[in-house]
Structure 1
Amino acid sequence: MVALMCGIHWNKKISGMGIGVERNGERKAGTLTRNDWIEAAKAILVSKGIRDLGLRRLATTLNVTTGAFYYQFKNFEELHAAVLQHWEETNGCEVGNVLKNKQLSAEERYLSYVRILFNNELLDPSYDGAIREWARSSEDVSRALKRVDALRLQQFFELFLDLGLSETAAEVRAHLIYFHQIGYYLVEYSETRKERLKRIPYYAELFCPGLIPIDIGVRELEKIILGDMD
């Protein structure tokens, strides 16, 4: 009777970590997947930063009690590791897949990379920025970030080697294209997609000369870069 007056229903079914507690209007702990927690943590990390990524805020976001967390994770460190792994496996992963695909010519790999920059589902700048900010206070995140950065630089280096550049020139150009894009996101430079699209031939002339004519028409450029994304 007391439990009902307090708006709490005790569920006697024992599952996994212990007895589930269900409050009025809240989801059952068992209905949440591990990925639900990771996606919620990602959203808080991106919007608020790592300092605001706490268990109580997560539980409130998912409309469950804090105890529900332990159905999927042993501790918060395990969640942190899962979010970091999620970033490595999803955000920018397609960039790596394209750059290492030697079945494509170097020119095709470059164009495929540019197309990805216009698709936030494949490369979310805010997620990347949140991880880079987190790396300032976490050695584990910093190591993971350095590993990914080194891999991307190597892939761009090989791309420019395949374009016929010397090793030194390929290394410098790899640094330019990669660090330019990171800086582009970190300063949160504001431009419309149309404005950015118009600049693509000029960027291409710097990184892959002769690939896209400077005087190319807008409609033709949209077909090359955007394809069926619209």
Structure 2
Amino acid sequence: MEQEIYSGGWRGSADVWLNAAYDALLETGVDGVKIQLLAKKLNLSRTSFYWFFKDRQALLDALISLWREKNTGNLIKQAAAYAETITEAMLNVTDCWLSHDLFDAQLEFSVRSWALQSPEILHEIQNADHLRLAALSRMFVKFGQNEKQADVRARTIYLVQIGYISMQTHEDLETRLKRIPEYVEIFTGQPPKQRELDRFLARNQHPA
């Protein structure tokens, strides 16, 4: 982590400023991501910011890079992860919806809200949607679905999850986990095997 200490005190680090911007984006939207507001929150001088970022736009670009790498990158990675069956592959993708380390739903909501006032961010969202849907479609094609079926199944999965996020749906973990087998069967046309569910629950830190 890049940090700077000078005679007048601690300047912070790129991560410190980025984390503060992340919190502000989630709490108040992009309009709250302003250098002066972040400096006040961090109890740092406004000029300290410029040791790590050229300007506010560079900080906003860093937030989008964080979102792109975490949410889109991990979803694509999970869709391509090793699986013996399509149901196991679907459970790999479902890990994204349960693990904040793999997919940040609050950040997703905030970036999509940001896109309502920014054509550039809307373009980022549209590109991400395209890449994510393509990854899900490839997952189904790999397991024998034709391209049309794969596309429709991918859209069903993805639009349901984006709907969860956009509607800010809140379910307790127990309720959501109980629905997973039925979701997997609806999305893939096959029920998951018990051993697949056991592995899924174990890696999501829940007893079978």
TM-score range (shorter-chain normalised) is 0.7 to 0.9
Query: What 5-or-longer segments of structure 1 have no aligned partner?
Result: 1-15
1:187-206 equivalent positions in 2, closer than 5 A: 187-206=167-186
Q: Structure 2 counterpart of 1:28, which letter?
A: W
Query: Does 2:50 align with 1:70?
Result: yes
Contact 1:38 1:79 in 2 (8 A): yes
Shift of 1:85: 0.8
Number of the residue aligned with 2:198: 223
Number of the residue aligned with 2:106: 126
Counterpart Cα distance in 1 of 2:149 and 2:69: 30
1:98 pairs with 72, 78, 89, which one? 78
Query: Does 2:133 align with 1:153?
Result: yes
Shift of 1:55: 1.2
Q: Secondary structure at the match of 1:28?
A: strand
Instruction: From the two aligned structures, give the one with the greater helix fraction.
Output: 2
Q: Structure 1 counterpart of 2:148, which letter?
A: T
Query: Does 2:15 align with 1:35?
Result: yes
2:27 pairs with 35, 38, 47, which one? 47
Shift of 1:222: 6.4
Distance change (3 Å), C-alpha of 1:228 and 1:110: closer
Shift of 1:65: 1.2
Distance change (3 Å), C-alpha of 1:229 and 1:100: closer
Q: Aligned pair count?
A: 200
Contact 1:95 1:116 in 2 (8 A): yes
Q: Secondary structure at the match of 2:170?
A: coil
Query: Does 2:187 align with 1:212?
Result: no
Query: TM-score if structure 2 supplies the norm length?
Result: 0.87
Contact 2:115 2:121 in 1 (8 A): yes
Contact 2:87 2:192 in 1 (8 A): no
Query: TM-score if structure 1 supplies the norm length?
Result: 0.79
Counterpart Cα distance in 1 of 2:114 and 2:191: 37
Contact 1:92 1:122 in 2 (8 A): no
Number of the residue aligned with 1:6: none
Shift of 1:129: 0.5
Q: 105-114 or 67-76, which moves further after superposition? A: 105-114
Shift of 1:176: 0.8
Number of the residue aligned with 1:182: 162
Contact 2:181 2:192 in 1 (8 A): yes
Counterpart Cα distance in 1 of 2:80 and 2:200: 20
The sequence identity of aligned pairs, in percent, is 27
RMSD: 2.2
Q: Structure 2 counterpart of 1:154, which letter?
A: A
Q: Secondary structure at the match of 1:188?
A: coil
Number of the residue aligned with 2:59: 79
Q: Give the structure with higher Rg (CA).
A: 1
Q: Secondary structure at the match of 2:169?
A: coil
Counterpart Cα distance in 1 of 2:87 and 2:181: 13
Counterpart Cα distance in 1 of 2:202 and 2:95: 9
Query: What 5-or-longer segments of structure 2 have no aligned partner?
Result: none
Contact 2:72 2:132 in 1 (8 A): no
1:85-134 CA-to-partner distances (Å, cap 9, x unmatched) read: 11111235222112134x53444322111122211122111011001111
